Amino acid sequence: MSRLLVAGLDGSSGVATDTLTSVDFGGGQLSDPFDASKAHAFASRGSYAGVPARNLDDLGDAGVVIIGAPFDWGATYRAGARFGPKAIRDTDYLGFDGYRPHLPTGIDALGVLKVVDAGDLLLPPGYIDESIDRIGDAVETIARHGAVPIILGGDHAITWPNARAVAAVHGDIALIHFDAHADTGNTTPTGMLVGHGTPMRRLIESGAVSGHRFVQIGLRGYWPGPETVAWMEEQGMRTYPMSDIVERGMRAVVDDAVAYAAEGADAVFLSVDIDVVDPGMAPGTGTPEPGGITSRELLDTLRRLSRELDVVGADIVEVSPPYDGPGEITAFLANRCVLEILNGMAERKLL
């Protein structure tokens, strides 16, 4: 407001203060996580697979907490990921009964892990810093409670607060990152520090996650440039581009990733940008890059990593339903990514 006044524009005296950007709102949680009368119109109206809905103040004995971050104001190209959490929850042809026995194992991970859903955070569109703070606070609350947060995005900017919050609780974590893009930009194309192309840079520079703890799988295309790639090498980031996967096969690459991530780290965070999958199988995303892995490869790999490593947090990001194909194939895939992570975790717990 003071800027308006300085610029010679009229301002109401009632709001003539340069501090009035918000009122005390009480954070990003609704007391009833799925209260449609108070939530964003783009928020989810029901829990993932029908698991119990729980407020973050009332997590009880939950082992896993699903939470939505309907946020797309970090996107540099196509937005729309604010509709991601709702699409990931809704896009399922089975009953919303909180029961999903896995065909290969017979394990119902939702029951074994006591999975609950805290709904979508209330995030103010356009206000990046405030949104990032609310996401980080919520994820840290879940991790401090001793539960595993699984965050439904949202564009990839949310991995900055997600992994930072998990690292604050669990210490020296490894981050296994599926993506067509490295997301290690120093700034966004318009000079901002927070955006969907910069979260891994922020995590490393802040010290939240060490560069040598990063394993990136599926990189391809024409970004970032050589200067950023050199910076990544300096940090000791381990990257497996598509060319490696094509040459050696996904299984061999994941063998390496598992061995590397298990070496010395206290625990693991999985970050799944759905654009790691070929746009032919996952078109509903913000920055599609042709020539990716298959949906089968992603699902099997997520289950394997969650079975073989101590996964203490995960996010599924960059699902942009307005760009999804006929049949909502991207949303169906993202829904199953969550279940495969949960199944791997349940197998690890039981075996």
Site mask for Mn ion (CB under 5 A), range 154-173, x = bound:
--x-----------------
DSSP for residue 160: H
Comparison of 117 and 183: residue with beta carbon closer to Mn ion: 183
Residue ranges of the alpha helices (H) in the chain? 2-6, 84-90, 109-112, 128-144, 159-170, 199-205, 226-234, 242-248, 250-262, 295-308, 329-350
Verify binding: residue 273, Mn ion, rule CB under 5 A. Answer: yes
Residue 57: alpha-carbon gap to chain centroid: 22
For 158, the token pair is 């949310």
Q: In the structure encoding, which two tokens stand for residue 210, read together? A: 């060490």
What is the arrangement of strands in the sheet containing 267-273, beginning at the earlier edge strand? 115-120, 64-69, 148-153, 311-317, 267-273, 173-178, 214-219, 238-241
For residue 218, the tally of other CB atoms under 10 A from its CB is 30
Nearer to Mn ion, 54 or 196 (CB): 196
Closest distance of CB 261 from Mn ion, Å? 19
Q: Which of 117, 275, 297, 324 binds Mn ion (CB under 5 A)?
A: 275
Piece of the chain touching Mn ion by CB under 5 A; list 9-17, 39-47, 268-276, 338-346: 268-276
For the CB of residue 274, give the shortest distance to Mn ion in the complex, in Å.
8
Closer to Mn ion by Cβ: residue 156 or 304: 156
Of 164, 181, 238, 307, the one binding Mn ion (CB under 5 A) is 181
Q: Binding of Mn ion at residue 201 (CB under 5 A)?
A: no
Which residues pair with residue 149 across a beta bridge?
Answer: 65
Exactly one of 179, 315, 324, 340 binds Mn ion (CB under 5 A); which one?
Answer: 179
To the nearest whole angstrom, how small is the minimum distance from the Cβ of residue 283 to Mn ion? 13
Quote the tokens at residue 295. 């949906």
Tell whether residue 315 is a contact of Mn ion (CB under 5 A): no
Residue 39 φ then ψ, to 5°: -75, 165
Angle at which helices 159-170 and 128-144 pack, to 10 degrees? Answer: 30
Q: What's the closest the beta carbon of residue 200 comes to Mn ion, in angstroms?
A: 8
* CB nearer to Mn ion: pick between 156 and 202: 156
Total residues in contact with Mn ion, by rule CB under 5 A: 7
CB nearer to Mn ion: pick between 105 and 239: 239
Residues that bind Mn ion (CB under 5 A): 156, 179-181, 183, 273, 275
